[in-house]
Chains A and B, each alone.
Chain A
Amino acid sequence: MPIKILSVDDSRTIRLIVGRSLRPYDCILCEAANGEEGLVAAAREKPDIILLDVTMPVMDGVTMLTKLKEDPALKSIPVIMLTAESGRDNVIHIARLGVRDYLVKPFKEEQLIDKVGRIVQLKKKEVSAPVAAPVPAV
Chain B
Amino acid sequence: MQEGVNYQELSRRYGFAPKPESASRLTQLVSRQDSDLDEIAKVINKDPVLRKRLLRVANPDAENEIEYAVETVEDALMRNGMGCVLVLAMGTPLALALTKTFQTMLSLKLEMIDPSEAECLQGDHLLGTIHFSDKVEGEVYLRMNIASARAIAAGILGMSPEELTDTNEIKDAAGELLNIMTGNFKSNLCDAGLDCRLQPPEVKLSNNFHTPSVAGGGVERIALRAGKIHLFVDVTANPWND
Where the two chains meet, the residues of A that have a C-beta atom closer than 8 Å to any C-beta of B are: 10-14, 16-17, 20, 54-57, 83-92, 95-98, 101-108, 111
Contacts and interface: CB of A to CB of B under 8 A. Distances in A.
Interface of B: 1, 3, 5-7, 10-11, 14-17, 97, 100-101, 104-105, 153, 156-158, 168-169, 172-173, 175-176, 179-184, 186-191, 198, 200
A86 B179 CA distance: 13
A95 B100 contact: no
Contacts, number: 100
A56 B186 contact: no
B180 A16 contact: no
Contacts of A106: 97, 100-101, 104-105, 180
Given A11-B176, A12-B169, A13-B153, A88 B200 contact: no
Contact of B191 (A12, A20, A54, A87): A87
Given A13-B156, A13-B173, A86-B16, A92 B10 contact: yes
Given A57-B200, A101-B14, A104-B16, A14 B186 contact: no
A13 B176 contact: yes
Contacts of A96: 1, 3, 5
A90 B182 CA distance: 15
Contact of B180 (A84, A92, A95): A84
Given A13-B153, A55-B200, A96-B1, A91 B179 contact: no
Is chain A's binding surface mostly helix, strand, loop or mixed? mixed
A11 B187 contact: no
Contacts of A102: 10, 14, 16
Given A55-B183, A83-B183, A91-B7, A10 B158 contact: no
Contact of A10 (B10, B182, B184, B200): B200
A105 B183 contact: yes
A104 B17 contact: yes
A87 B183 CA distance: 9
B201 to A, nearest CB: 9
A63 to B, nearest CB: 13
Given A84-B182, A91-B7, A108 B198 contact: no
Contact of B1 (A95, A103, A107): A95
